[in-house]
Structure 1
Amino acid sequence: MNPFKQTIHNYPYALLRAALTLFKKTPDELPTAELRQAEIQALNEVKIESRILNTQEAAAVIISAQELQDAYQEIRGRYTDDESFFSDLKKNQLSKDSLEAALYRQCRVNVVLEFIASRAPDISEVEIGIYYHLHSEQFNRPERREACHILISINPDYRENTRVTAFSRMQEISEKLQKKPHKFADLALKHSECPTALQGGFLGLVPRGKLYPELDTVLFSIKVGEVSDIVESEIGFHLVLCRQIQKAETLSLQKATPKIREIMRDRLRRTCQREWLAGLSD
């Protein structure tokens, strides 16, 4: 490594973070070109961090021992034992002390940036209304249906799952449901070969286009509480239950306001931070 980089406080930790952020790999796993990219980002982050910590705002920031311990344990908790944890630290040119020092600096930086973001101006109702009308497509909610299913898969390698046998098994379940549709969850738990069997076959509240096309077509054609006829998809035979229908709607300004406020608030906070950072001297 370049001797200049070795003297930069917090560089090993910054390099590790950059490598994980950019490529989801540690620095030693990166090819030369990617490593260079991670190094450039790490150097930039360290420089920005130093500029932040040299400000008047940072001078008043104190990180408690508990806050530092929480940050340390969040990383330590990703490992099952000390040996693997400290081995990884060493591999990335870190020790317990240098990691804690890096986390202490990071915590101070985060507090300063949060303080700067708090200076963002309040959002007026007029601004919210303008956003709503300029981005109306964001507030169109498609019809969604709460679906459950029972699956008997087709697999010629298993006698009980040949196409003929699987269909015969599903017919038996279908006949039981015609008499007792309220038993859907019980029968799903007992017979379904989908992991959702443990939740009574529950697939969630889904819009059009999320399920297999065959299931999608059936789900959006049946009534609430109705169980479909047997449906075949590429993985096997299904019975589909529609538990609830949420009709398509366009959110009113009143309903959309909390989300708009959140979007605009985050945008203003980031703008406030960027402008403050741009005004810092090297």
Structure 2
Amino acid sequence: MPDTITSRNNLSANTSSRYLSIKHAEALFQLAPDALSEPQRAHVAEVVARQLAIEQRVLASEEARRVTVSNEMVDAGVGEVMSRFTSEADFVCMLAKQGLTQAALRDALTREMTVDAVLDAVSANVPPVSKQDVEIFYRLHADRFHTPERRTARHILITINDDLAGSGRVAARARIDQIRAQCVRDPEQFAKQALRHSECPTAMQGGLLGPVTRGQLFPALDAALFAMGTGELSGVLESPMGFHILCCDHIRPAGRVPLAKVREKIRAQILATRRAHHQRQWLRSLIGTRQAKVD
């Protein structure tokens, strides 16, 4: 007999409820269930009840009879949960606090994986994504594949501190003016001047700010940088941090990501959307059928 576990409605909904409470408390609030406030606990309980109701319908379906979940899959699921804890003792302690055993966790994971497997099976035969589908998506959503202009810049910062001798506004301005004059005489010295004089942590990288887009820097720096040409040096600029000079190393113009680079990502996204839509339709029909039978 194959080493498999079949998940049916006879799995304890109470066990799954406890497991789902842990899962959704962490996902929604980054807390353990016993640390939730009353409104948070009520919200988690509502989410869990809704999920359990859907799972019950899925597991009672004809499609669920044809689905199995292997022990290896459940082992991997338990391992993934355990990996979130610093030690196995912490893991076991958490389960105990929530009224769960490792066997109960396996049952809950088996139930959850079976539901996922049913939904995967239900949507397995959605139409494949054609080359034309991908190209149409790329053209209709051109804004998603736009890359803004980026400029790679370096800067030198001299801070202003009127309470520190030699760092007042007048002295700081004199220092930045002198540094800029050095850079004007020999632009290749900018990185060395930054390392020697800049009062920003970027000094260790020769003042390198890296590639930036519009709006990432202080307004005065942003306006100056995006008006400069490659290799150009700015005038002295002031921000809340102090005085700066900028050097524009490289300009990458705005453009579009080539279709070849995103073709597979688009294909996967379209397929995932189709599968999710098919699953929702199946769930609606399943719920409608069950309600009709009750009526």
Which residue does the alignment assign to 1:17? 23
1:62 aligns with 2:69: yes
Q: Tell me the equivalent position of 1:142.
A: 148
Shift of 1:121: 1.6
Alpha carbon RMSD of aligned pairs, Å? 3.5
1:33 is aligned to 2:39: yes
Judged with a 3 Å threshold, the aligned counterparts in structure 2 of structure 1 residues 69 and 151 are, in CA distance, closer, same or farther, namely farther
| Structure 1 residue 116, shift from structure 2 partner | 4.1
Structure 1 segment 56-95 matched on structure 2, within 5 A = 56=63, 59-65=66-72, 67-82=73-88, 84-95=90-101
Once residues 161 and 197 of structure 1 are traced to their aligned partners in structure 2, the CA distance between those partners, rounded to angstroms, is 18
Structure 2 gap ranges (5+): 1-11, 291-295
Identity %: 35
Query: Which residue of structure 2 lines up, in the alignment, with residue 216 of structure 1?
Result: 222
Contiguous gaps of at least 5 residues in structure 1: 1-5
Counterpart for residue 203 of structure 1: 209
Distance, in Å, in 2 between the alignment partners of 1:80 and 1:167 is: 52
Inter-partner Cα distance in structure 2 for 1:227 and 1:19 = 53
The offset of 1:213, in angstroms, is 0.8
Equivalent residue for 1:3? none
Cα distance, 1:236 vs structure 2 = 2.1
Gap change, CA 1:24 and 1:155, over 3 Å in 2: farther
Structure showing greater radius of gyration is 2
SS of 1:279's equivalent in the other structure is helix
Structure 1: how far apart are the matches of 2:189 and 2:70? 57
TM-score normalized by structure 1? 0.76
Instruction: State how 1:1-282 maps to structure 2 within 5 Å.
Output: 8-55=14-61, 56=63, 59-65=66-72, 67-82=73-88, 84-156=90-162, 158-159=164-165, 161-189=167-195, 191-250=197-256, 257-258=263-264, 260-280=266-286
1:270–1:168 Cα change, 3 Å? farther
Q: Normalising to structure 2: TM-score of the pair? A: 0.73
SS at the partner of 1:245? strand
Tell me by how many angstroms 1:149 deviates. Answer: 2.8
What is the alpha-carbon distance in structure 1 between the residues aligned to residue 38 and residue 158 of structure 2?
50
- CA offset digits 1:21-54 (Å, max 9, x no partner): 3333333333322311210101222333344445
